[in-house]
Structure 1
Amino acid sequence: MFSRELIRLVPFASLVLLYLYQVKPVPELNGYPEESFRSVFFKLLPMIYLMLAVWAEHNSKKDKKYSRTILTGLFFSAFGDACLVWRVKLFIPGLLFFSIAHIFYAFAMRFKYLGIKFALISSVVFPLAFHLVSKIDDFVMKILVFYYCSLIFLIVWRSFVRMSRLHFNSGRYAVIGAIFFGCSDYLIGCDKWIISIPQSSLLIMITYYTAQAFLACSVFASD
């Protein structure tokens, strides 16, 4: 039986399919969508749905801080989405907007309990980060990317701690969302600096939308 939270993602999934159908890959951009406001419009429709769904859920929740903070993360992610349509010219602004989003996601998970063992598990992010950074020539970009990878570590770590403290699906959804975010971002880095990945744009967007969907589901399933 499908859970109530996942059923609420049916409109979201439909909008993701609409985006994939409407925004065609461009060979000159290595299979990425065209750099246009049309691409931005269709790319943001799934995110707008998630924000509206989380906002609608907000007033019915006891833990309003969690839903409000996740909503803010979704909001800044949408700005990052828009920037990364121009994935070369606006890559750094996009990275910075997503960095802000991850800070909000991490604070949503809270820091009341330390969870050392979960920090050790999540530290698998760092060997991948060092490998990625070693392939980047620009020093400033190295710093920015390592900083960003540290934020991925932070949300994965805190989501595991949240899951360990909760006895319902909210914590599990948060972990799945954080892990898929890490996968999506690592695909971006690999495709940009290490090796060209076939169908990279499709893989990146599927893992990215999956990440955001499960983070939203963590709100739907929360108390």
Structure 2
Amino acid sequence: MVARGKESGRTPDPLLLALRMGPFFASCAFYFFLWLPSEEPRWTSALVKCLPVLCLAAFARASASPGPGRRFTPPGLLCSALGDFFLIWPSRFLFGMAAFSAAHLCYLGALGWHPLRPHLLGPVAAAFGAYVGLLQPQLPPGLGLPVLLYAALLGLVLWRALARGGPAALGGLFFSVSDAVLAWDTFVRPLPPGRLIIMVTYYAAQALLALATVEPGAPKAD
């Protein structure tokens, strides 16, 4: 007899998924409840910030359907947690960007290249190009090229997420919004609700990318 769940190629019951996501929701609530000052970087702040993404890595590893998502999404989430850790300290911004770049490479592996849907790439490239063009004059010396390369990776992730559809598409959009607000808040002008917008969209993005791994089978070709 074939067992229910991912072994049978069917999406697990929503209630079961919600229970498995419980540690993520609890750690998110803990983060927003404490809301530790970002002006005082501490190890405790780093741990509280990383914990929700670490919970998602465990969720994806345990719940993902067989395939690229199961292989690549948990490492991507672990790299994201490392990036979260580095970004607690402004002096380690480049290390954080490098860790998130590695995460995006993992997400590209998880999302795959089928169906290709090249018509989605043009609008994504135009939007990212325009935004990076606005940022470039505001960036400190030495950050222009790293930010450009990171934006190119994030744009590829958004393209592949939109091509995949479902939770992945929304996750890619939320990730792009989170990073866009972070860049503006950091390099152009501080936004009063900036940190809240960044973290809500960021955790939502990671959760949706993790949930995309439980979808049975791969997207169909056009």
TM-score interval (norm. to shorter): 0.7 to 0.9
Whole-angstrom CA distance in 1 between matches of 2:109 and 2:36: 36
Q: How does 1:35-54 map to 2 (within 5 A)?
A: 35-54=41-60
Equivalent position amino acid for 1:48 in 2: L
Report whether the alignment pairs 1:193 with 2:175. Answer: no
Whole-angstrom CA distance in 2 between matches of 1:80 and 1:18: 20
SS in structure 2 at match of 1:89: helix
Flag as ranges the 4+ runs of structure 1 deviating above 6 A: none
User: Cα deviations across residues 47-69 of structure 1 (Å, max 9, x unaligned)?
Assistant: 121111111124xx232x22110
Could you say which residue in structure 2 is the equivalent of 1:62?
Answer: 66
Could you say which residue in structure 2 is the equivalent of 1:96?
Answer: 98
User: Cα deviations across residues 165-209 of structure 1 (Å, max 9, x unaligned)?
Assistant: xxxxxxx11111111111111111101111110032222111111
User: Cα deviations across residues 127-169 of structure 1 (Å, max 9, x unaligned)?
Assistant: 112111232141x201111111111110011112222xxxxxx
RMSD over aligned Cα atoms: 1.8
CA contact (8 A) 2:57 2:73 kept: no
Whole-angstrom CA distance in 2 between matches of 1:47 and 1:105: 14
Report whether the alignment pairs 1:79 with 2:77. Answer: no
Q: How does 1:40-189 map to 2 (within 5 A)?
A: 40-58=46-64, 61-63=65-67, 65-86=68-89, 88-123=90-125, 124-138=127-141, 140-163=142-165, 172-189=166-183
Shift of 1:40: 1.3
- C-alpha distance 46-126 of structure 1, shift in aligned 2 (>3 A): same
Report whether the alignment pairs 1:219 with 2:213. Answer: yes
CA contact (8 A) 2:182 2:198 kept: yes
Whole-angstrom CA distance in 1 between matches of 2:203 and 2:88: 15
- C-alpha distance 46-33 of structure 1, shift in aligned 2 (>3 A): farther
Shift of 1:7: 5.8
SS in structure 2 at match of 1:90: helix
Equivalent position amino acid for 2:88 in 1: V
The number of equivalent residue pairs is 203
Whole-angstrom CA distance in 2 between matches of 1:117 and 1:7: 38
Unpaired segments of 5 or more residues in structure 1? 26-31, 164-171
SS in structure 1 at match of 2:91: coil
Shift of 1:80: 0.2
Indicate the larger mover: 213-222 or 75-84.
213-222
Q: What percentage of aligned pairs have identical amino acids?
A: 28
Whole-angstrom CA distance in 2 between matches of 1:190 and 1:215: 24
The normalised TM-score by structure 1 is: 0.84
